[in-house]
Amino acid sequence: MLVHIPAVFTRDEVLRIREALEAAQWVDGKVTAGYQSAQAKNNIQLPEGSPLAKEISQAMLERLWQNPLFMSAALPNKVFPPLFNCYRSGDDFGYHIDNAVRQVKGSAERVRTDLSSTLFFSDPDEYDGGELTIQDTYGVQQVKLPAGDLVLYPASSLHKVAPVTRGARFASFFWTQSLVREDSQRALLFEMDNAIQQLTQDVPDHPALTQLTGSYHNLLRRWVEV
């Protein structure tokens, strides 16, 4: 399941964030890659735990926790703190699958990476190349979203970032441990929730809504892990 979540940040907010990112000190992106991924990864990142990364991350997660689309699709339990990267001309990240478990730096907390997210801070016309290419049961998807938008997809997917040939691609990425581990189950719950919301708007007094909502929560009760 691949979900596009628009306008996590407004245009003015994106511009302010970009100014801060462009003025920041960056490090080699390999510092957060596993052994295999490091062989394919060519980009730069903000240092983990830097004040700027923490500030933007806090604002981002506050927005997402209030975003009905993200909450419905991800059913988040906990999130690995967002990281920030930049792909300049010649940078890329070859095909890889994300590590199944990430440990938060300076903490004993571990996060199972059920879902990956990328939030774009560069508009598509600011750079050439740099598409996020994702392979999964829904086929091959190439993602290049407006600045401020986020894409959510299974972390089990084979994916890459195509080489950037012009400009710079700024983004944030992070992983979510969902209350529901299995992607097919999350997809079913997401479809049911969308149907319930639409019916609530169209026929709010229909008695079947109570039954459908109850079925949703009974499935959630069966599949949730806390």
Q: Which residues are annotated as a binding site for Fe cation?
A: 96, 98, 159
Please give the distance of CA 211 from its chain centroid, rounded to a whole number: 32
The annotated binding site for 2-oxoglutarate is made up of 169
The b-or-e profile of 72-93 (16+ CB within 10 A means b, else e) is bbbbbbebbbbbbbbbbeebbb
φ/ψ (deg, to 5) at 52: -65, -45
Amino acid residing at 14: V
Token pair for 74: 């991800």
Token pair for 117: 């997210």
Amino acid residing at 134: I
Radius of gyration of the chain (CA): 18
The annotated binding site is made up of 96, 98, 159, 169
Going along 51-96, which residue ranges are E strands? 76-79, 83-87, 92-96
Please give the distance of CA 74 from its chain centroid, rounded to a whole number: 9
Angle, alpha carbons 196-60-221 (nearest 5°): 35
